[in-house]
Structure 1
Amino acid sequence: MKKKLSVIVCLSSLPFLFTLNGDFVFDDSEAIVKNKDITSEYWTDVFNNDFWGANVKSNLSHKSYRPLTILSFRLNYLLNKSSLSALHFKITNLVCHVICCILLWKVFEHMVNGKKSNKGCKMSEKCTSQNGFSQKWWMDVPYLSTLLFAVHPVHVEAVCGIVGRADLLASMTFFLAFLSYNKATSSLHWRYIYLICTVTLSAISMLCKENGITVLGLCVVYEIVVNLKPKGRDLTKSKGFNYVQVRVDADSIFRIIFITLSAMSLLYLRWIVMGGIKPEFKPTDNPTAFAENSFTKVATYSYIYFLNVLLFIWPKWLCYDWSMGCVQLIKKIADVRMLPVVLMYIYGILLLKAIFYSRNRKSNRTIILAVSLGVIPFLPASNILYPVGFVIAERILYISSAGYCLLIVMGFSKLLHRRSLFTCKIGVFMFLLLLLVYAVRSWSRSIAWQNEYNLFVSALAVCPLNAKVHYNVAKAADANHETSFALAEYKEAIRLFPEYYQAMNNLANILKNQKQFAEAEYYLRAAVKHKKDFPAAWMNLGIVLAHTRRFDQSESAYRTALNYRRKYPDCYYNLGNLYLELNKTEEAINSWSQAIHQNPKHVLAWTNLMALMDNTGQIERALKIIPTVLTELPDAPSINFAIANMYGKLNRYGEAETHFKKAIKLLNIEVQAIHYANLGVLYHRWKKYSLAKEMYINALKIDPTFQTARKNLDSLQRSNK
């Protein structure tokens, strides 16, 4: 028992260890880093907002109500001294995965062995009657199924992506709810308590992630196939099919009714929480949901189901985002992709036929439970009940993969049943090889989840027709200063999706920085054409127009941006820069002041405001705001530098020296020649000539062509002769 537990812990941990030193990636940024519900002072807001921090009753919300998951993120944040550390979050995810594997081991034992799970594995009957091979651990179906689940590569997204915590917590409580229900069916004195615990745990699971409530459906199936007893065997036969009369058990009927009513009540409460409003998605999120042709919908959804099954069997093609063009719509019956769809449904029919015609009720029971474990948790993501906002999501498959693992190991068990010792050893070798392949694939995939660049680039081989993949690759490449690669990827994203206004805006920003203003203007005008209320594009268009000295059009673009987004400090900052260019001093001051009002820590606005007041002789006005700016930004180098210059002009040398030194210390390796040169001027005026000389020399070391420092140094040396 202890050895098996140790192996489960090791196998469920090792393939995912390499991601622990990774960053917040992809959805982690929106759900955790930018989510005020995790970092704010008021923790009760989590019960009013969705997973992404928006009001759950808003029309713009995706209705993903997972307050308990958000609270777990908040706990990570608080335990790490109110700071966001990806390491702590990832360790928690890994621990949750290990716990899920241990719980699933018990779930499998109940599914395979029924209520007497403590007697070992009964599915693993003898390979041969004489070799005793069946007594070995490697024929333990629940245990081997758990090992397969522990290393399955489809779990990498749930374990390595921190937002996958929702799936892990939902799975933990899902398995606990099932185990509680098993107790409710076998306990005499505590059965009602366990039944209430089952419903409570399912509610908790639902508050971690929506599909957690599906455990109640699995419990109903378990009740039907395990606890409803046959009245007699082979009472009537027709062509080999066994019609078995079932004895109606009052306790079973009560449990089924109780579970069904509880599920309906929880769903109704969930609907109330959503404000009675269904989530709204874009065609780019789930293109199939917006297909007009019924055949296209059915065929494409069926193909998506096949791809999900394929990810279980051969998880080579893993991708963080399957939206947009990843899965092209099937519009004709002659589409070659219809072949695997048809074969999948034929296999499903044959499996059902085999179950109905088989006389091995125990084996049938386990197969039905395994299929149910695979299918029922997937139903909320199947688009059958309602459209969802994604095409394929690997983390959604976390629970469903357990059903696949159980089916695979049962298949191995059946194949090795009453075979020779040599055949059994070959079978064991093949299974261990499968474990190794899955573990290595999980390890390699977890490396991709260490940072966004690796993750996004890895998707190019899987979904080359997904514009969003190219867009994210471009963003990551730009952050890595791979400008040419970023330009190419943005253009490819726009080629694949000509209305991709976000890509147009980002592409224009790069072109703007390269002084290619005409091309930047072209993409920005295209962006606001496709999305008129796009404040960022309007602001960037204003910047481009200002660079090309079309000031009236630039001001109009800034005003349009502010009409669409009232609170936009960056836009007010740029508008202030425009007014400065037009020598409208007071308008510039007002614009920067508005930027500061909206964002008191807007360093650039503060810096420009103080510099303008200094340069226009409004020293007294500038001095009045110094206490405020130092309260908001005490460690901003540019602020300290600006204050030092003002104090220097007022001959307040000591205060000026303090702020000059602080600015230089904060800048560290980014210090520029002008910082040392200005401190040198201060010492020069202060008559501390040796220090002035030292500062001028430091400035010239950084920039030997800095003429001001050169002239001041020459003047100092001549005066000292």
Structure 2
Amino acid sequence: MLNRKYHILLFAIIVATPLVVYLNSLANTFVYDDYLTITNNHFIREWRYLAALFSKKYAAVSNELTYRPIVTLSYFIDYALWQLRPAGYHFVNNIIHTVNVVLLYFLAHRLFGNRIVSLISCLMFSIHPVFSEAVNAISYREDLLSATFLLIAFIFFLKSSDKTACVRNLSAFYVVSLIAYFFALLSKEMAITFPLLAFAHDFIFKRKEIVSRQCAGMLPRSFYFLSGRFVTHYIGYIIISGIYLFLRFKVFKNPGEVIFYPEKSIFINALMMTKVVGYYLKLFFIPMPLNADYVVPVAYSVFDGAFIISLIVICCTMILVKKNCFSGKWVFAFTWFFVTMLPVLNIAPLLNIMAERYLYIPGIGFTLFAGLAFNKGFQCFYRRRHYFLSFVVIVCFLQMWGTIQRNGIWLNEFTFSTETIRRSPKSYRIYNGLGYFYYNNGLIDKAIQAFEGSIQAMPTHPKAHSNLGAAYSLKGMQDKAIEELQFAVRLREQYPEAHNNLGLLYKRKGMPDMAINEYVAALKTNPYYADAHNNLGSVYIDTGRYEEALSELEKALKIRSNFALAHYNMAVIYFKKGQVEDAYNKLLEAYKLDPGNADVHLSLGVVYKDHFHDTAKALFHIKESLRINPQHKQAEEMRKVIRELNP
């Protein structure tokens, strides 16, 4: 009974700790890349698009840079449950992180057979501030999900190597491990290091067994690894890796994924990544200052001060590992850390060469080390264990406080952006995000200032130029807007949003042919861009090309069935063709989807007045149109009609 209560208490501590530490994150809103992957992503709102997860249009409609269908699937489920209520998305992230904490406990216990080491590892994983970015950022959920499946895969890999289990169970464990590994890859490509982890585990923990076989005159060690474990275990993971790489780089490769090394130099990249690794190690021991967007200064020489310091930190760490490797357990903990970090060392160029979220999976190795270090420290300082435990408790409370404080930074786009810019004044991405926040909240002057700050930090940032053009447009500065958008498409030819915005401006300036060219360019890059189809249809209406317009609007509605503006534009076509009943039905659909559209109300008012002769409904809709937009270009005519219809 006591043992059962102990296990219940242990499990309660493991589960409750991450939930409590990240409780205040439930008040956070959508920030940063969440706008792309969730709030402005209509793709996740309809289950009929689920099949697109396994088609070549995945990159165009998901807003993911690489193929991560498991993550996108989770957003489908999220939207079905919470729509656009951010608390639900944050709750899911917290649950996934808690599941990972529990899985880490099982992994640590299976590796080390020590509950205290396992518990400390879990607690460190729960509270360390360096993991807060991965948990708080909804659009970085790939790190959480990949870690979940990677941990499951490794636990079942260990179970499949257990000689005490029956053969049938071993086969089942192995299959589960393979499936989990594949799901880990489909969540994020960082999981590709799993075969190396499996090999490292066998080499570290089974070396004595291998040596004894060799000494007994049996197969040599190399042959044992290559022909024994390779055939029975590793080959499956290698095949899964090959399938994934084929899907990732051949079938579902994103054509927009063109990234280069810093300064297009492998040497400079090596110098910079040495600095990054050194800083990563420092963050685990001293997790401050933390930042959502690191701007790593370019290093051109081995005499760069930050490079030298980082190299010293890395060398000291390696020496510490070598001097204090009391058993293979310590070696494996550090092996996990360094091996899983390989995919984010910019060997294959990354968009961001440094990010705290990259440490979520490698950090598992660090937490295993922390658990071992606590156990060793407790033994060494047993006589002064009260002091030792007090020190550990203080460290844990500082870690918890740091994480809780860090959660608050992600409260909303303003708190997130201003704090990040304070730490990284040259962060052009965050300036752009802050500008987007101001833009959406109608603070156009501040948005322009933020976009200009982004351009000042990175003059060749196409998104900032495109967004600045959109802001100029709202200020009525059409020529400057066109200039910025043209510069954006020169920087990135395949930029559908910039082409679409240019089309809108050319349409306003009475240049339909140029507008059509821009919309066609946008659709050439992204054929699933509903806004561009709708806008192209609108230009075709203006030029009397009704059949072509109808075709484009049907495409827009096929992509996004709840697109109110496309329904309205189809109503306009039916009006012009004299099909009033069809126009009325489309207006009702538009009204149902967007009851705040003044043009829809005005059109409905006209239909009720002239076609159905329903004075009451005509008055209601015309008044609503005037209330919604008192500055409407037909405002005077509406007031005149209202006076005529009023008894």
Letter in 2 for 1:392: M
Matches of 2:52 and 2:505, distance apart in 1: 40
Alpha carbons of 1:91 and 1:425: their partners in 2 closer, same or farther (altered >3 Å)? Answer: same
The answer on 1:344 being equivalent to 2:313 is yes
Which residue of 2 is the match for residue 254 of structure 1? 228
The answer on 1:223 being equivalent to 2:223 is no
Alignment counterpart, residue 628 of structure 1, candidates 579, 583, 586: 586
Which residue of 2 is the match for residue 705 of structure 1? none
- Superposed, which structure 2 residues align to 1:173-212 within 5 Å? 173-190=149-166, 192-193=170-171, 194-212=173-191
Letter in 1 for 2:129: P
Q: What is the CA distance between 1:525 and its match in structure 2?
A: 4.2
Which residue of 1 is the match for residue 342 of structure 2? 379
CA contact (8 A) 1:572 1:591 kept: no
Matches of 2:58 and 2:386, distance apart in 1: 49
Alignment counterpart, residue 302 of structure 2, candidates 326, 330, 333: 333
After superposition, what is the alpha-carbon deviation per residue over 1:669-705, rounded to whole angstroms, capped at 9, x for unaligned?
747499999888667656x63xxxxxxxxxxxxxxxx
CA contact (8 A) 1:25 1:451 kept: yes
Alignment counterpart, residue 8 of structure 1, candidates 5, 8, 14: 14
Letter in 1 for 2:208: K
The total of aligned residue pairs comes to 616
Q: What is the CA distance between 1:180 and its match in structure 2?
A: 2.3
Q: What is the CA distance between 1:167 and its match in structure 2?
A: 2.5
SS in 1 for 2:151: helix
After superposition, what is the alpha-carbon deviation per residue over 1:575-597, rounded to whole angstroms, capped at 9, x for unaligned?
479x6xxxxxx649789767645
Matches of 1:195 and 1:403, distance apart in 2: 23
Unaligned runs of 5+ in 2: 1-6, 213-217
Q: What is the CA distance between 1:443 and its match in structure 2?
A: 1.6
The answer on 1:513 being equivalent to 2:468 is no
Q: What is the CA distance between 1:187 and its match in structure 2?
A: 3.5
- Superposed, which structure 2 residues align to 1:255-654 within 5 Å? 255-274=229-248, 276=250, 289-322=261-294, 326-354=295-323, 363-384=326-347, 386-419=348-381, 421=383, 423-531=384-492, 537=498, 540=501, 551=510, 554-566=511-523, 568-569=532-533, 571-572=535-536, 575=539, 587=544, 596-599=553-556, 625-634=583-592, 635=595, 636-649=597-610, 652-653=612-613
After superposition, what is the alpha-carbon deviation per residue over 1:421-452, rounded to whole angstroms, capped at 9, x for unaligned?
4x432322222222222222222222233333
Alpha carbons of 1:53 and 1:671: their partners in 2 closer, same or farther (altered >3 Å)? Answer: closer
CA contact (8 A) 2:204 2:328 kept: yes
Which residue of 2 is the match for residue 68 of structure 1? 70
Q: What is the CA distance between 1:299 and its match in structure 2?
A: 0.8
CA contact (8 A) 1:593 1:605 kept: no
Q: What is the CA distance between 1:619 and its match in structure 2?
A: 10
Matches of 2:577 and 2:229, distance apart in 1: 80
Matches of 1:416 and 1:398, distance apart in 2: 27
Matches of 1:269 and 1:440, distance apart in 2: 43
Matches of 1:365 and 1:528, distance apart in 2: 55
Q: What is the CA distance between 1:268 and its match in structure 2?
A: 1.5
Letter in 2 for 1:660: L
Matches of 2:387 and 2:143, distance apart in 1: 36
The answer on 1:143 being equivalent to 2:119 is yes
SS in 2 for 1:271: helix
Alpha carbons of 1:482 and 1:184: their partners in 2 closer, same or farther (altered >3 Å)? Answer: same
Q: What is the CA distance between 1:475 and its match in structure 2?
A: 1.0
Which residue of 2 is the match for residue 717 of structure 1? none
The answer on 1:661 being equivalent to 2:620 is yes
Letter in 1 for 2:200: V
Q: What is the CA distance between 1:397 and its match in structure 2?
A: 1.8
Matches of 2:493 and 2:157, distance apart in 1: 54
Q: What is the CA distance between 1:461 and its match in structure 2?
A: 2.5
Matches of 1:431 and 1:144, distance apart in 2: 10
Letter in 2 for 1:298: A
Alpha carbons of 1:561 and 1:341: their partners in 2 closer, same or farther (altered >3 Å)? Answer: same
- Superposed, which structure 2 residues align to 1:126-141 within 5 Å? 140-141=116-117
Which residue of 1 is the match for residue 4 of structure 2? none
Q: What is the CA distance between 1:26 and its match in structure 2?
A: 3.1
SS in 2 for 1:337: helix
Matches of 1:225 and 1:215, distance apart in 2: 15
RMSD between aligned residues: 4.1
Letter in 1 for 2:90: K
The answer on 1:172 being equivalent to 2:148 is yes
After superposition, what is the alpha-carbon deviation per residue over 1:376-432, rounded to whole angstroms, capped at 9, x for unaligned?
222222234x333431233332121121123234334444434364x4323222222
Alpha carbons of 1:267 and 1:35: their partners in 2 closer, same or farther (altered >3 Å)? Answer: farther
Alpha carbons of 1:300 and 1:246: their partners in 2 closer, same or farther (altered >3 Å)? Answer: farther
SS in 1 for 2:379: coil
Segment of structure 1 superposing worse, 369-378 or 677-686? 677-686
Letter in 2 for 1:147: L
SS in 2 for 1:158: helix
* Structure number with higher helix proportion: 2
Matches of 2:335 and 2:417, distance apart in 1: 34
Alpha carbons of 1:441 and 1:282: their partners in 2 closer, same or farther (altered >3 Å)? Answer: farther
CA contact (8 A) 2:52 2:58 kept: no
Which residue of 1 is the match for residue 215 of structure 2? none
SS in 1 for 2:349: coil
- Superposed, which structure 2 residues align to 1:101-120 within 5 Å? 101-112=101-112, 117=113, 120=114
Matches of 2:626 and 2:131, distance apart in 1: 43
CA contact (8 A) 2:59 2:254 kept: no
Alpha carbons of 1:248 and 1:28: their partners in 2 closer, same or farther (altered >3 Å)? Answer: same
Identical columns (%): 16
- Superposed, which structure 2 residues align to 1:636-715 within 5 Å? 636-649=597-610, 652-653=612-613, 655-661=614-620, 670=628, 672=630, 685=644, 689=647
CA contact (8 A) 1:223 1:256 kept: no
Unaligned runs of 5+ in 1: 122-139, 234-244, 580-585, 690-721
CA contact (8 A) 1:373 1:403 kept: yes
Alpha carbons of 1:516 and 1:249: their partners in 2 closer, same or farther (altered >3 Å)? Answer: closer
CA contact (8 A) 2:157 2:177 kept: yes
SS in 2 for 1:20: helix
Matches of 1:630 and 1:277, distance apart in 2: 42
Matches of 2:259 and 2:60, distance apart in 1: 22
CA contact (8 A) 1:157 1:320 kept: yes
Matches of 2:631 and 2:65, distance apart in 1: 51
After superposition, what is the alpha-carbon deviation per residue over 1:469-524, rounded to whole angstroms, capped at 9, x for unaligned?
21111111222233332222211221222223332232233223323345434434
Matches of 2:24 and 2:101, distance apart in 1: 19
TM (norm. structure 2) is 0.81
CA contact (8 A) 2:43 2:49 kept: no
Matches of 1:6 and 1:103, distance apart in 2: 14
Alpha carbons of 1:368 and 1:471: their partners in 2 closer, same or farther (altered >3 Å)? Answer: same
After superposition, what is the alpha-carbon deviation per residue over 1:80-115, rounded to whole angstroms, capped at 9, x for unaligned?
5xx454333322221121121112112222333xxx
Matches of 1:611 and 1:205, distance apart in 2: 49
Q: What is the CA distance between 1:151 and its match in structure 2?
A: 0.9
TM (norm. structure 1) is 0.74
After superposition, what is the alpha-carbon deviation per residue over 1:515-540, rounded to whole angstroms, capped at 9, x for unaligned?
33454344344334444565655565
Matches of 2:319 and 2:498, distance apart in 1: 56
Letter in 1 for 2:29: D
